[in-house]
C-alpha cells in the first residue's frame, strides 16, 4: 500500500497509541500534545521512511505500538536528559538499578516499582529486600515533577521486620511467578502482548483494543482462555492450587 494512504488509514490509531503512552507514563497537557505531534511528524519524515519499513511480519497495530514506544523513549531522553543510575545503585547490583530507575526516572510509586520488578523476570528479590535497598539509596530529584507519588510509602524498620515473617510464602510465590513468566514466553506474540499490557502494565482492555486495532468484546473471552491455558501450564510445573490462586489474584 502507498505509505501516505497507510498513514492516513492508521492516523487515529497512531494518535491513540501516543496518547495511551503519555497517560501510562504520566505525561500530561501540552507535553502530551507535543509528543503526539512529534510522532506524526516523525512518521511523515523522509517520505514516510518509517512506514516504508513495514513488511507485514506483524500486524500494523503491533508495528505501530513498537515504533511509537521507541519514539517515546527518544522523546523522554531529549526532554529530560539521559538517565544514569547512581553509583550506590550500581554498586548494589541490577535490582537496585532497576528500582531506582522505576522510582526516580519513571516516577512510579515504590509499591508499583516493586510489583514491576517482581514480574519482569530479571531479578529475584522479595519486597522486604527491595524496601531495604530503597531506604539506603540516595534520594534523587524525580525526572517528572508532576508525579504525585512520594517516597513516604517506604516501609519503617518495624514494617520490614513484619515482612520478613512472610519470606517463606513469598519465596514459594516467586517460584510460581517464575513459572508464570516461563509460561508467558510460550504464548503467541500478540497473546503475550495482550496479557502483558493488561496485567503487568495496567492498560484497560478498551485501550488495548484501540492500540492493537482489535474489537474489544472478543478480548474478554480471549483473555479468559489465555489465563486458563497459563493456569494449566503452572499446574504441569507443580504449582499447587493455593499459589496458583495467589498468582491469579496478583494478575487480576
Answer with the residue of higher pLDDT: 148 or 94. Answer: 94
Domain end point (choices 47, 80, 113): 80
Residues 9 and 68 in one domain: yes
Residues 156 and 192 in one domain: no
Residue percentage of the chain with pLDDT more than 90: 8
Residues 173 and 244 in one domain: yes
Q: Per-residue pLDDT tens for 28-64?
A: 788 788 888 889 988 988 888 888 888 887 788 888 9
Q: Quote the CA–CA distance of 24 and 22 in Å, as a whole number.
A: 5
Predicted TM-score of the model (pTM): 0.40
Residues 158 and 91 in one domain: yes
The pLDDT, as a whole number, for residue 89 is: 87
- 133-162 in b/e form (b: 16+ CB < 10 A) is bbeebeeeebbbeebebeeeebbeeeebee
The pLDDT, as a whole number, for residue 242 is: 55
* Beta carbons of 18 and 36 less than 8 angstroms apart: yes
The pLDDT, as a whole number, for residue 144 is: 45
Residues 75 and 108 in one domain: no
Q: Quote the CA–CA distance of 55 and 28 in Å, as a whole number.
A: 33
Name the most confidently modeled range: 121-130, 225-234, 241-250. 225-234
CATH code of 52's domain: 1.10.1740
Task: State how many domains the chain has.
Answer: 3
Neighbours of 75 (CB within 10 A): 21
Q: List Cα–Cα distances, 194 to 155, 171, 198, in angstroms.
A: 33, 27, 6
Q: Per-residue pLDDT tens for 156-215?
A: 334 434 444 444 455 556 666 677 777 888 888 888 888 888 876 678 888 888 888 889
CATH code of 243's domain: 1.10.10.10
Residue from 179, 172, 173, 195 nearest 236 by CA = 179
Answer with the residue of higher pLDDT: 20 or 84. Answer: 20
The pLDDT, as a whole number, for residue 236 is: 79
Residues 93 and 119 in one domain: yes
Parent domain of 60: 3-80
Under DSSP, the state recorded for 199 is: I
Residues 65 and 7 in one domain: yes
Amino acid at each position: 500500500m502507498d505509505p501516505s494512504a497507510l498513514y492516513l488509514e492508521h492516523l487515529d490509531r497512531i494518535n491513540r497509541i501516543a496518547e495511551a503512552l503519555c497517560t501510562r507514563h504520566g505525561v500530561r497537557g501540552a507535553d502530551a500534545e507535543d509528543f503526539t505531534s512529534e510522532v506524526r511528524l516523525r512518521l511523515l519524515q523522509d517520505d514516510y521512511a518509517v512506514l516504508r519499513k513495514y513488511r507485514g511480519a506483524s500486524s500494523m497495530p503491533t508495528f505501530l505500538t513498537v515504533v511509537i514506544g521507541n519514539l517515546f523513549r527518544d522523546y523522554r531522553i531529549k526532554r529530560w536528559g539521559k538517565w544514569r543510575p547512581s553509583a550506590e545503585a550500581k554498586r548494589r547490583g541490577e535490582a537496585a538499578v532497576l528500582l531506582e530507575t522505576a522510582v526516580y526516572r519513571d516516577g512510579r510509586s515504590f509499591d508499583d516499582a516493586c510489583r514491576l520488578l517482581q514480574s519482569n523476570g530479571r531479578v529475584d528479590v522479595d519486597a522486604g529486600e527491595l524496601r531495604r535497598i530503597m531506604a539506603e539509596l540516595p534520594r534523587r530529584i524525580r525526572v517528572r515533577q508532576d508525579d504525585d507519588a512520594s517516597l513516604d510509602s517506604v516501609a519503617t524498620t518495624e514494617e520490614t521486620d513484619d515482612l520478613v515473617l512472610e519470606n517463606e510464602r513469598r519465596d514459594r510465590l516467586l517460584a510460581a511467578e517464575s513459572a508464570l513468566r516461563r509460561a508467558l514466553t510460550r504464548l503467541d506474540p500478540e497473546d503475550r502482548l495482550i496479557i502483558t499490557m493488561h496485567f503487568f502494565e495496567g492498560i484497560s482492555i478498551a485501550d488495548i483494543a484501540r492500540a492493537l486495532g482489535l474489537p474489544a468484546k472478543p478480548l474478554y473471552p480471549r483473555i479468559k482462555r489465555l489465563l486458563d491455558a497459563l493456569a494449566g501450564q503452572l499446574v504441569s510445573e507443580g504449582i499447587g492450587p493455593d499459589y496458583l490462586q495467589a498468582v491469579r489474584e496478583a494478575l487480576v
